[in-house]
Amino acid sequence: MERLPSVMSQNRVWYCLDCGKCSAVCPITRWETRQYTSPRLLVEKAVQGHPDEVLDDPLFWSCLTCKRCSELCPSGVYFSEFLRDARAMAQEKGQKGECSHSEVIQVWGRIMAHANPAQDRLGWIDGDLRVSHDSDVLYFVGCLPYYDALFKKIGCEGIEIARAAIRILNHLGIEPQVLADERCCGHDQLWEGDWETFQALARLNLEQIQASGAQQIVTTCPECARTLKLDYPRLVGGHPLRVFHLTEFLAQPGIGDRLNLKAEDMSPTVTYQDPCRLGRHLGVYDAPRQLMDRLGLHRIEMGRTGKASLCCGTSCWTQCGQVSKNIQVERLREAKATGAECLVTACVKCQIHFKCAQSDPALREELGIDIRDLTTLLAERLGDGTKAEPS
């Protein structure tokens, strides 16, 4: 951890004013009952020069890097990024967080970092879905096919989100490219400090992306969008492609407005969960809301929304325990309190985490609310043919 001071400098940690606004909003601070922890205290430990205490702090591995604290920080401390970079140092020392699912998701990432991981990446493209080898648009699928293996049983939409995305693009006359041997984008590896794997994955993806000749990348996962857009150029290598989350892509003039959407008699009342990576990381708040409006959904916002929204409670498949669960329960109660019938998100991980929290039998009734991805909701409402170009 000798390099800790330099990481602190890069991320403006020295500028902390000890005001404590971060601690007031940090969901971990609120729910970690075993020992007091907060971003401010952790920064304090770092500034005081106790790197071991930084490492031992519960927040070190359980910080969701949701950037809620940074929204309020008057000094502009990049707390999430500070931990991201500090975790890389900890990993070099052989430490890591407590992995969920027996570390299988991390292992998938490491397998994909090999030159030839022997994966069937396109098996799900069936029926009337159309893809091509020369489209201007590349659809980056992310880990959806993998998540089906673990989370179908709790009702996660999984690969249906990818199918919906292709269907929407096809509806717009786009037959996107899909990489035959796409890898995990490396987001989780980057944020939990496994940079070696992250870089390997990024290089393998960049090779294929550049070879595709596409001009634009569309994703349905906010983490992929963030990583491809911000982290690849900064940490591994630049590429000339523009990166969109699907909601952003559709928000462009002349694209989303060509969608021919069927009117529904009974549109559900919905509320929207801003994914951290899409909202606070990429600043995309309006595009998904516009789409929901176009679908005619009656939307009721939760108390904490947009920049102030509460994270889904787990990140990088680590440190997922009672604290995470309680954050999820808190957020689900907030969603239920709106009276909405459906909680819409634009990130598959939000969906997984909330659905898992709903499986507690004692809370099942209280927290019972439909959870959907905006992509699949949209695909269900596609009509025949696109609308004419707006005059």
Partner 1 sequence: MTRGALILGGNPAGCQAALDLADAGIQVHLVESAPFLGQEDRFTLPSRWQHTRLLEVCKHPNITVWTQTHLSRVEGEAGRFRIELRQHPRYVDLSKCTACGDCLTVCPVTVPGTDRKAIHLVRDGQPGCAAIDKIGKAPCSNACPGGIHVQGYVALIAQGRFQEAIDLIREAIPLPGICGRICTHPCEVNCRRAEVDKAVAIRLLKRFVADLEPVPRQESPLPPPNGKRVAVVGAGPGGITVADRLARLGYRVTVFEKLPVIGGMMAVGIPTYRLPREVIAREYQQIQNRGVEIRLNTTIGAGGDHSLDDLFRMGYEAICLAIGAHRSHTLRIPGEELPGVVHGIELLKVINLSQQLDDPQYKATLERWLRRGAQTRVAVLGGGNTAMDVSRSLRRLGVQEVRILYRRTRNEMPAIPEEVEDAEQEGVQIEFLVSPVRVIGDAENGVAALECLRMKLGEPDASGRRRPVPIAGSEFRIDLDLVVLAIGQAPDLEQLGEGHGITVTREERIHVDGVRFMTTRPGVFAVGDAVTSDKMAVIEAIGMGKKAAAAIDAYLQGQPPHEVVVDAREVPIARRELTEEERVPKPRVPVPLLPMAQRLTSYAEVELGYTAEQAMAEAQRCLVCGPCSECLACVRACQPGAIVHEQPERLVDLEIGAILCAGDPARWGLPLAEGRGVYRLPPTELTTASAVAAQVMFDLLTERRPLPAPGPMISDREAARIGVFVCQCGGEIAGVVDTETVRRRVAAWPDVVDAQVLPFSCSPEAAEEIWRAVTANRLNRVVLAACSCCALDQICYSCTYQRVRCKANLGVFPDHPSRLMDMMPTTGKDRTPVLFEFVNIREQCAWVHADDPPAATAKATALLAAAIARARAPILKAPEKPTVDRSALILGGGEAALACRAALTGEGIAVRHLEEAPGQVRRSGGQYQVMAQDRLWQASALVLIPRDAEEQVHLLAAFDGNAPRLQPDPFGNGILTHRPGIFYCDPALDPATVGAAAAAQVAAWLGRQEMRSPLQTALVTPSRCRACATCVQVCEFGAPQLIGEDPHRTAWIDPAICVGCGTCAAHCPSGAITVPHMSDEHLEVMLEQVLGR
Residues making contact with partner 1 (CB under 8 A): 31, 33-34, 98-102, 320-326, 329, 356-357, 359-363
Task: Extract the tokens encoding 106.
Answer: 């991390």
| Closest distance to partner 1 from the beta carbon of 154 (Å) | 8
Task: Spell out the SS3 assignment of the chain.
Answer: CCCHHHHHHHCCHHHCCCCCHHHHHCHHHHHCCCCCCCHHHHHHHHHCCCHHHHHHCHHHHHCCCCCHHHHHCCCCCCHHHHHHHHHHHHHHCCCCCCECHHHHHHHHHHHHCCCCCCCCCCCCCCCCCCCCCCCCEEEECCCHHHHHHHHHHHCCCCHHHHHHHHHHHHHCCCCCECCCCCCCCCHHHHHCCCHHHHHHHHHHHHHHHHHHCCCEEEECCHHHHHHHHHHHHHHHCCCCCEEEEHHHHHHCCCCHHHCCECCCCCCCEEEEECCCHHHHHCCCCHHHHHHHHHCCCEECCCCCCHHHCCCCCCECCECCCHHHHHHHHHHHHHHHHCCCCEEEECCHHHHHHHHHHCCCCCCCCCCCCEEEEHHHHHHHCECCCCCCCCC
Cβ nearer to partner 1, comparing 262 with 364 = 364
**Tokens 């991805």 -> residue:** 373
Cβ nearer to partner 1, comparing 202 with 323 = 323
**Tokens 């800790």 -> residue:** 4
| Closest distance to partner 1 from the beta carbon of 332 (Å) | 11
| Closest distance to partner 1 from the beta carbon of 216 (Å) | 36
Cβ nearer to partner 1, comparing 34 with 234 = 34
| Closest distance to partner 1 from the beta carbon of 101 (Å) | 6
Cβ nearer to partner 1, comparing 33 with 391 = 33
| Closest distance to partner 1 from the beta carbon of 63 (Å) | 16
372: alpha, beta or left? (left if phi > 0; alpha if psi -120 to 50): beta
Q: Output the CA torsion 249→253→254→258 (10° steps).
A: 70
Cβ nearer to partner 1, comparing 228 with 352 = 352
| Closest distance to partner 1 from the beta carbon of 324 (Å) | 7
Cβ nearer to partner 1, comparing 279 with 313 = 313
Task: Extract the tokens encoding 48.
Answer: 């005081």
Cβ nearer to partner 1, comparing 151 with 198 = 151
| Closest distance to partner 1 from the beta carbon of 350 (Å) | 16
| Closest distance to partner 1 from the beta carbon of 103 (Å) | 8
| Closest distance to partner 1 from the beta carbon of 325 (Å) | 4
Cβ nearer to partner 1, comparing 110 with 203 = 110
Task: Extract the tokens encoding 194.
Answer: 């496994």
Cβ nearer to partner 1, comparing 34 with 93 = 34
